[in-house]
Amino acid sequence: MYKRVYWKINYKKIELILNFFIWCKSKMIKYLSKKIIPVENFTEELLDNHEECKYEKETQYMLYFDGCSKGNPGLGGAGAVLYKDGQEVWGSSQLVGDKVTNNVAEYSGLIMGLQEVFVRKIKNILVRGDSQLVIKQMKGEYKVKSSSLVEYYQQAKLLESYFDKIVFEHVYRDKNKRADELSNMALDLS
């Protein structure tokens, strides 16, 4: 008799739990049947509701940077441009030094741009440059082997740590014309 009561009680609990799940299933089916998404819109629906994708709908800031050196090493210039929703909001050029390599000039352009973004308190940024070396080092895909670049790399990484979201992308020179123009302008004005 004791075992019967024990099994009967457990059966009732199991039955209650199963009934609860069956009830939940029926509610979910009703809910989901109203939310049917056509296959062609499925990806858009997912992207619209995905938290990370909301970054794309917010104000988008893009930083382009470039550096140049006449002689490599030689007279070096750096340029950086900040865009907000596709419109240029800031651009700057600076003379980097008399005997700098092209890579030092590239890093100088990146650092100059990141400093401006930092001052403006922008937390999400897309950074683009035509220096494959600098972009891949910032992404951790290449090691920094040149001792002349270590200090610049560390400064750029320190600035990178400030941002909530920062993405580095390599672009070809034809997509980086304004930053290139500014880096060359620094040499022309010297």
Q: Is the pLDDT of residue 76 over 80?
A: yes
Determine the average pLDDT of the residues in 55-62: 71
Which of 55, 75, 91 is the last residue in one of the domains?
Answer: 55
Q: Could you tell me if 50 and 119 lie in one domain?
A: no
Q: Could you tell me if 106 and 20 lie in one domain?
A: no
Q: Could you tell me if 124 and 51 lie in one domain?
A: no
Confidence category of residue 52, pLDDT binned at 50, 70, 90: very low
Q: Could you tell me if 64 and 37 lie in one domain?
A: no
Confidence category of residue 21, pLDDT binned at 50, 70, 90: low
Q: Looking at residue 77, what is its pLDDT?
A: 96
* Pair 81, 64: CB distance under 8 Å: yes
Give the Å distances, CA to CA, from 94 to 60, 67, 110, 183, 188: 25, 10, 12, 7, 11
CATH of the domain at 155: 3.30.420.10
Q: Could you tell me if 68 and 48 lie in one domain?
A: no
Q: Could you tell me if 120 and 172 lie in one domain?
A: yes
Determine the average pLDDT of the residues in 24-39: 60
Q: Could you tell me if 146 and 67 lie in one domain?
A: yes
CB atoms within 10 A of CB 115: 15
Q: Is the pLDDT of residue 3 over 70?
A: no
Q: Could you tell me if 126 and 63 lie in one domain?
A: yes
Q: Looking at residue 75, what is its pLDDT?
A: 96
Q: CA 94 to CA 184: how far, in whole Å?
A: 9
Which of 55, 76, 93 is the last residue in one of the domains?
Answer: 55
Domain extent, residue 7, equals: 2-55
Confidence category of residue 22, pLDDT binned at 50, 70, 90: confident
Q: Could you tell me if 119 and 181 lie in one domain?
A: yes
Q: pLDDT for 138-176, tens place per residue?
A: 999 999 999 999 999 999 999 999 999 999 999 999 999
Q: Looking at residue 55, what is its pLDDT?
A: 44
Q: Could you tell me if 41 and 106 lie in one domain?
A: no
Integer Rg of the chain from CA: 28
